[in-house]
Amino acid sequence: MRLNRYCVMQKDLAICRIGTCFSLRAMIIVVIQSSALIYFGSDGAIVPPPWSNIDKNPCAALPGGWQMLYWAPLKKCFKIFQVGYPCPDTMELSPPSNNNHTAECRCPPGTAQSVLNDECHTLFTKGPCSDGEYFSPVTDVRTLSTWKTGGAQKLGKCKLGRNCPNGSVFWPPDDKCYALYTRGPCPKGKLLTVGAGQIGECKCENRGALAAYFYNEEDSCYEHFTKGPCQKFGELFLPSRKCGCHPKLPHYYEKTNQCFEIGTPGPCSKGHIFTVSENTDDQNPHASCVCKTGYIPWSDGSCYRLYTRGPCAEGQFLINSTTCTPNICGKGRLYFPEQNTCYKIGSQGPCSLYEVVVFDFTSRPSVDGISYNGVCGCTALIKGLEQTCTSTQEEEKSDSCDSTPGMININGICYKLYTQGPCGSGQWLEPVKQLSSEELTSSNKVQCKCRPGYTTSETKSGTLRCFAPTVGLARWILQLIGYEEAT
């Protein structure tokens, strides 16, 4: 369901959640493969592209005609997607989007035309903008009809970036702040740094702050205590910039003498997550396998998502760790546990004003099977596209961080436990031990603590400082887990 993912990423349309979705590029998906153009029709079948019709495009008769477009002003054929001449410098010659089959000059994908200077610039970078600003798609001119046709030229303008807390950087594509030197939205092997104009940039290099994360063998960068480049199951990328494992780490799994990333499936069986339980009074806590949030343990050793079929017989779903119940919901209806009844999707059901019954879109049907759990979602569609359900979406965002074991939301940024996060040098985020559940809020659930091996000292003003170990631990341990100061 790629389109749905597209929608969720765009977060523009609440209608995605009830299964209808418009994609700007849905009209035309072109893949260049061994220099031939393949055009997918709306049914997914490969069909000749419309501009290969000789009647409409005189260039189609030439050798390689599928790749040639007729440019009427010069009465000549040009290669498709050629940047520059006959188009303006930054534009490419594009297949017709209009009915009269004339080729058009358009900004290449990922770029948009500046309303200031008419040139195409890469979206979500500094582009032609001032420091602290980024080049953003102009969304206020987008109407439902341009969504459907993909017709209008994409426009961009400079927009002020978000002011992110210290130790984090603004990432324009999703309008979020991410902790520096974490992978965040970056491709594998790169980490977030501050780029041109104070905008987040994915990067890897063996100098400056990134050097601490640089993996020599591969020319790539990884967060510490993640799987990173490590090939061997049960090893993590350590501050020594090598792959390894050590029993002193919270990431250590005693049963198999291996280490796993916190908040991942790790060594666990289906439906579990490897995480450190909160409120442990263990001074040297170790992660273990627990059911993911919203999942319950079943007698077969796996955890299953509530209100999916899980281990139940056909036509049933799971309501607690011992019971399957016949699925009483008819087609297009979803279950509300509190009411113990089903409501039609899109109806108001038990929801408040401006909300309707929608799928629980945190469930992943490919992993868990279909969830019959109904939730209340905003009715943005009814009130117009610009009417976003901002407040509830913000809540969902932070909830989805907080409710993910091993992740914690601090000032709107999602951090992983046992990473440096917003903490000082030599420190990492640990769950606070022994707090009653009433005392727990997301920000006091965790604290900055010295990493194992570091010596704790508190200054007069109460600031925690952590000193790299010099004595007390065998040298080989230090080297192994990387607490040896860089020489």
Ligand X SMILES: *[C@@H]1O[C@H](CO)[C@@H](O)[C@H](O)[C@H]1NC(C)=O
Pick the piece of the chain touching ligand X (CB under 6 A) from 38-46, 83-91, 96-104, 438-446: 96-104
Given 34, 100, 145, 299, the residue binding ligand X (CB under 6 A): 100
DSSP string for 236-292: EE-TTSSEE--TTSTTEETTTTEE--TTB-TT--TTEEEEPPTT---SS---EEEEP
Nearest residue (CB) to ligand X, 20 versus 322: 322
Compute φ and ψ for 460, nearest 5 degrees. Answer: -55, -35
**Segment 124 to 163, residues that bind ligand X, using CB under 6 A:** none
Phi-psi region of 400 (alpha: psi -120 to 50; beta: other; left: phi over 0): alpha
User: At closest approach, how far in Å is the CB of 164 from ligand X?
Assistant: 10
Cβ distance to ligand X smaller for residue 269 or 322: 322
Per CB under 6 A, which of residues 165..184 are in contact with ligand X? 166
Positions in 395-424 near ligand X (CB under 6 A): none
Looking at residues 221 to 280 of the shown chain, list those that interact with ligand X (rule: CB under 6 A): none
463 binds ligand X (CB under 6 A): no
Phi/psi of residue 23, nearest 5 degrees: -115, 135
Comparing CB distances to ligand X, the nearer of 33 and 166 is 166
Query: Which of 257, 269, 284, 320 is in the footprint of ligand X by CB under 6 A?
Result: 320
Q: Is 323 in the site for ligand X (CB under 6 A)?
A: yes
Coil, strand, or helix at residue 154?
Answer: coil
Residue 299 in the binding site for ligand X (CB under 6 A):
no
Cβ of residue 97: shortest distance to ligand X, in angstroms?
9
What's the min distance (Å) between Cβ of 104 and ligand X? 7
DSSP code string of 187-250: PTT-EEEE-GGGBEEEE--SSGGGGGGEETTTTEE--TTB-TT--STT-EE-TTSSEE--TTST
What's the chain's Rg over C-alpha atoms? 27
Is the separation of the CB atoms in 134 and 125 below 8 Å? Answer: yes
Among 3, 8, 212, 319, binds ligand X (CB under 6 A): 319
Q: Which stretch binds ligand X (CB under 6 A): 229-237, 304-312, 320-328, 440-448?
A: 320-328
Count the site residues for ligand X by CB under 6 A.
Answer: 9
By beta-carbon proximity to ligand X, the closer residue of 321 and 387 is: 321
Q: Give the binding site for ligand X (CB under 6 A).
A: 98, 100, 102, 166, 319-323
